[in-house]
Every structure is written in C-alpha cells, then in structure tokens.
Amino acid sequence: MATYRSVFDAAELRAQLNDAGINTKFMASIWKYVLQNPGCELGEIPDLPSSAYRLLRTKFKPFTSTVHSVFHSTDGVTTKLLIKLQNGAFVEAVIMTYDTRLGKYGGKPRLGGPRSTLCISSQVGCKMGCKFCATGTMGFKNNLTSGEIVEQLVHASLLTNIRNVVFMVGIIHAINKLHSDLPGLNLAVSLHAPVQEIRCQIMPSARAFPLEKLMTALQTYQKN
C-alpha cells in the first residue's frame, strides 16, 4: 500500500512545492480548504496551479489518520480520541475541558470561562514504562510525523474549540534543549509524587532524572 504524507506536514509540503517550482503561498489556501471541508479530496481545492494538483494527488492526503473511536468521561470533563494512523497503529489524544473561573487568583474571582486543552501524542508507544500508563507497556514503536501530530489537533477541533495544546516533557536534557529550540513556550511538569523514592516506584525512568536535578532544570527554564 502506498504511503502518503499528510497535507498538514508543513516542512514536507513546502519542500515538495519548492521542488516543483510552485509558490508556497498556496499552502495557506490548501490548509484553509481542508480545515473547512474535512471530508474533501485535494483535487477539489479551488484556484491552484495544475501542477499543484498532480503533486498533491501523488504525494499527499488531506488526512493520513482517522478517528477510530471517541470516549467521553461520565463527568463530561474529558474526551479521549483513539486515532488510527495509515500504518495501522493507534495513538490517543485527550481533550480536557475546565472552567477558568473556578477558584480565585490573588484573592479575587478569576476571569475567563470554559476552555479546552488538548494533550496529543508525539510517538507510538513509549519506553518510559510508567506503572499508571497503558501506553508504557507497549514499548517505543516510532515517532510520529509532524503531519500526524497536527492531524490530532484538527480532529479534536472538529469536536470543540481547542485553546491550548500540551505535550509530555519531563526529561531533563530535553527541557534544557526546549528553550533554545522553541523559546516562549510555557512548561509544566507533572511530578506524580513529591518524593523521589515514590516517583521511582511508579515511574522507573525517574531514577535517571532525580527530583533535585529536575527542579533545577525547571528553575533555569523559568529564568530564561
């Protein structure tokens, strides 16, 4: 079976358009049409050069993944999407909805209202082996392409308006690298336990990332 790239894989789409001598300004038109018409075929996108249609037809698909199933929590706060990739593997994306007006900030009622955050997958499986996570039992399979990652956001956006997107980051050297690679991102780390010994029991990888060194990395990130 032929393997296609996602039209939302920005780097690949830009490179292919450049190689074909097609102006990359058409990328925005392609994305806008697919977002507004999620069931479309790429040949339906209006006002593209003829060479662009040939390229899109042979190299890309509007979506390389499909939503296999959707699960809603009984309290209505969480929605889990099970997404099937074109290679047959499955990943999960989780929508978490909460009301920012709950609680207080500085002794005063908080502003805002209901908003949704999407936690997305960046790989199939995981080698961390955390005791509380089913994905950790799979072992690491492969990293996702940028298009497969973005498609999770697109799928979720068809269900609700997504305000924030989060990745899982708890590895010290990756935290140190994150600031230089993608400056300006907010960083939050779930410790799962405030004591290193307990963290090691539920997250074997915590042995390589002691709490003291992790906190130092977070403080450095915050200062930067």
| Contact predicate 100/110, CB 8 Å | yes
Which tokens go with 140?
A: 């690491």
Q: Are residues 161 and 76 in the same domain?
A: yes
For residue 147, name the pLDDT band (cuts at 50, 70, 90). Answer: very high
Tell me the whole-structure pTM to 2 decimals.
Answer: 0.86
Domain region containing 12: 5-61
Q: Are residues 162 and 94 in the same domain?
A: yes
Q: Are residues 97 and 181 in the same domain?
A: no
pLDDT recorded at residue 1 = 62
SS3 155: helix
For residue 171, name the pLDDT band (cuts at 50, 70, 90). Answer: confident
pLDDT one-digit tens code per residue, 38-72: 889 999 999 999 999 999 999 999 999 999 999 99
pLDDT one-digit tens code per residue, 78-132: 999 999 999 999 999 999 998 888 777 778 877 778 889 999 999 999 888 888 8
pLDDT recorded at residue 116 = 94
* List of residues 6+ apart from 101 with CB closer than 8 A: 109, 110, 111, 112, 113
pLDDT recorded at residue 98 = 86
| Contact predicate 64/151, CB 8 Å | yes
CA distances from 213 to 82, 106, 174, 179 (A): 35, 30, 13, 17
Mean of the per-residue pLDDT values for the chain? 91
Q: Are residues 148 and 185 in the same domain?
A: no
pLDDT recorded at residue 36 = 93
pLDDT one-digit tens code per residue, 175-212: 989 888 888 888 888 888 899 999 999 998 899 999 99
* List of residues 6+ apart from 87 with CB closer than 8 A: 3
Q: How many domains does the chain have?
A: 3
Q: Are residues 49 and 101 in the same domain?
A: no
Share of the chain above pLDDT 90, in %: 64
| Contact predicate 103/93, CB 8 Å | no
Q: Are residues 147 and 113 in the same domain?
A: yes
The domain that contains 80 carries what CATH number?
3.20.20.70
Instruction: Please give the Cα distance from 20 to 13 (Å, whole number).
Output: 11
